[in-house]
Structure 1
Amino acid sequence: MIAAAGMSFLGLVPLRARGETGIATARPQPRVAVLARWIAETIVAMGIPPAAVPELTTSDSIWQDMPLLEHTVDLGLTGEPNLELLDQLRLDYIFIEGRFQSARWEPLFRQIAPVIVSSIYTAERKPLQTAHSETLRFGELLSSPEEAQKLIGATDAILDEHDKRFSSAKSPVFVVRILDDRNVMLYCAGSLFDAVLAKFGLRNACRVASDWGFLTIGIDSLASEPDAWIIHFEPPTEGPLAANPLWLHLPAVKAGRLTSIPELYSWGGLPTARRFAELLLERLPDGLTG
Structure 2
Amino acid sequence: MKLLTKALVFLTFINISYAGERHPIATFDWAVAETLSVLDISPLGVMQLNTYNEWTDNKIISRDAIELGLGSMPNLELLSHLTPSLILGDNKSLDEKLTRIAPTENISLFPITGDPWQAMQDFTLALAERIGHNEEAKRLIHEYEQQFTKLRYRLSGDEEPLIIIQFRDDRHVWIYGENSLLQGALDQLGLTNAWDQPTNYAGVSTVSIDELPAIEGRLVVLKSPHYTASIGDRLNRGGLWQALLRLRSGNTVYLPVNYWTLGGLPSAMRFAETLVETLEDT
**Taking structure 1 as reference, are residues 123 and 193 closer, same or farther at Cα in structure 2, changes over 3 Å only?**
closer
**Taking structure 1 as reference, are residues 162 and 66 closer, same or farther at Cα in structure 2, changes over 3 Å only?**
closer
Is the 8 Å Cα contact of residues 30 and 142 (structure 1) preserved in structure 2?
no
SS at match of 1:246: helix
**Taking structure 1 as reference, are residues 66 and 253 closer, same or farther at Cα in structure 2, changes over 3 Å only?**
farther
Match of 1:256 among 250, 253, 264: 250
Q: Deviations over 1:156-176 (max 9, x none)?
A: 223224652446325211001
Counterpart Cα distance in 2 of 1:239 and 1:142: 45
Counterpart Cα distance in 2 of 1:200 and 1:173: 12
* TM superposition shift of 1:217: 0.8
Q: Does residue 1:243 correspond to 2:237, yes or no?
A: yes
Is the 8 Å Cα contact of residues 45 and 271 (structure 1) preserved in structure 2?
yes
**Taking structure 1 as reference, are residues 71 and 161 closer, same or farther at Cα in structure 2, changes over 3 Å only?**
closer
Counterpart Cα distance in 2 of 1:95 and 1:221: 39
SS at match of 1:274: helix
Match of 1:265 among 237, 249, 260: 260
Is the 8 Å Cα contact of residues 33 and 91 (structure 1) preserved in structure 2?
yes
Is the 8 Å Cα contact of residues 93 and 113 (structure 1) preserved in structure 2?
yes
Is the 8 Å Cα contact of residues 120 and 265 (structure 2) preserved in structure 1?
yes
Letter in 1 for 2:228: P
SS at match of 1:158: helix
Question: Which one has the bigger helix percentage?
Answer: 2
* TM superposition shift of 1:205: 1.2
Percent identity over the alignment?
A: 29
Counterpart Cα distance in 2 of 1:245 and 1:169: 32
Counterpart Cα distance in 2 of 1:127 and 1:268: 12
Is the 8 Å Cα contact of residues 174 and 186 (structure 1) preserved in structure 2?
yes
Counterpart Cα distance in 1 of 2:146 and 2:272: 10
Match of 1:215 among 189, 205, 215: 205
Q: How does 1:91-130 map to 2 (within 5 A)?
A: 91-97=84-90, 101-102=91-92, 104-122=93-111, 124-130=113-119
Is the 8 Å Cα contact of residues 32 and 91 (structure 1) preserved in structure 2?
yes
Q: Deviations over 1:241-284 (max 9, x none)?
A: 32333333346875332221122322111111000110122111
Q: Does residue 1:179 correspond to 2:168, yes or no?
A: yes
Q: Higher mean Cα deviation, 63-72 or 234-243?
A: 63-72
**What is residue 276 of structure 1 aligned with on the other side?**
271
**Taking structure 1 as reference, are residues 225 and 161 closer, same or farther at Cα in structure 2, changes over 3 Å only?**
farther
- Give ranges in structure 2 of 5+ residues lacking alignment: 1-14
CA RMSD of aligned residues (A): 2.8
Counterpart Cα distance in 2 of 1:120 and 1:54: 16
* TM superposition shift of 1:29: 4.3
**What is residue 140 of structure 1 aligned with on the other side?**
129
- Give ranges in structure 1 of 5+ residues lacking alignment: 7-25
**Taking structure 1 as reference, are residues 145 and 66 closer, same or farther at Cα in structure 2, changes over 3 Å only?**
farther
* TM superposition shift of 1:35: 1.0
Letter in 2 for 1:215: S
Q: How does 1:151-166 map to 2 (within 5 A)?
A: 151-161=140-150, 163-166=152-155
Letter in 2 for 1:239: D
Counterpart Cα distance in 2 of 1:169 and 1:157: 21
Number of aligned residue pairs: 256
Is the 8 Å Cα contact of residues 188 and 213 (structure 1) preserved in structure 2?
yes
Is the 8 Å Cα contact of residues 166 and 202 (structure 1) preserved in structure 2?
no
Is the 8 Å Cα contact of residues 42 and 64 (structure 2) preserved in structure 1?
no
Q: Deviations over 1:24-68 (max 9, x none)?
A: xx9x643100111121111111111211123445xxx22343355
Counterpart Cα distance in 2 of 1:205 and 1:168: 16
* TM superposition shift of 1:95: 0.9
Is the 8 Å Cα contact of residues 54 and 75 (structure 1) preserved in structure 2?
yes
Q: Does residue 1:62 correspond to 2:52, yes or no?
A: yes
**Taking structure 1 as reference, are residues 207 and 151 closer, same or farther at Cα in structure 2, changes over 3 Å only?**
same
Q: Higher mean Cα deviation, 160-169 or 273-282?
A: 160-169
